[in-house]
Amino acid sequence: MSGTIRRVGVVGGGQMGAGIAEVCARAGLDTVVCEVDTIAARAARDRVAGSLERAVGRGRLAEADAQAALGRLVFTGSLEDLADRQLVVEAVVENADAKTEVFAALDKIVEDPGAVLATNTSSLPVMRLGRATGRADRVVGLHFFNPVPVLPLVEVVSSLHTSADTVAAAGDFAAGTLGKTVIHARDRAGFVVNALLIPYLLSAVRMAESGFATAADIDAGMERGCAHPMGPLRLADLIGLDTVAAIADSLYDEFREPLHAPPPLLRRMVEAGLLGRKTGRGFHVYDRD
């Protein structure tokens, strides 16, 4: 790939994919968001439009800039529309089979052999996804954090196959174009942030599960006693309890440490569809947007 990245694709228009698409569009980039079908694509557009509207309402973005950003976005139900992209960020469900299928398809569709194919995975091996393609040297992790338009960090994760040029291009894009703070991580489950964060969240779940303290008191203890901006259970709700469980499974599969094993309560809540903020109920109850 030569030149600055100006044409970006995002696969997945959920909470994370919509956030990534929004920051790309706000940075002036031609951005195409691909969902599973046209209905999901329309929902993704509504998600981004709602986020931009909230940013305007909070005084963080001018109305004209919000409209300009929305005008740079195209929403589609076909991966074929990503053929001319210089960078594609995969942001589908945290499932190895689903992500591998996306990368195998992108390898056939994206025309530029030098294009960067990135994954927003929270914990899955980047090398496994790269090997689903014929260009593993161009596959890298670009792990954004939720909410993407607000949180400044991106982890750039290189596998044993990722080339130095790819790492540099990904880092330059995240820092120089999007204005994010970049840290580099090796291709191990959880990378830097989740390798530290998830055991902490799981400890809070175990504390609630045992009846040692209520969710409200656990969160208040960490917020008021340790100056954390958000308690661990409220943070788990924000991340999504299904995502927390998936990351925990990846960490346990790699390290086999008991502190990484998802507690039974977490698994039951996921089975019950009590996934946190996105479903209106997790360890706390939320108003649905």
- Residues carrying an active site annotation: 122, 143, 155, 194
Residues in the chain: 289
Token digits of residue 136 = 């593993």
Q: How much is the CA Rg of the chain, to the nearest whole Å?
A: 19
Sign of CA dihedral 75, 79, 85, 91: positive
HSE on the CB side for 49, CA within 13 Å?
Answer: 10
Distance in angstroms (rounded) separating the CA atoms of residues 38 and 75? 8
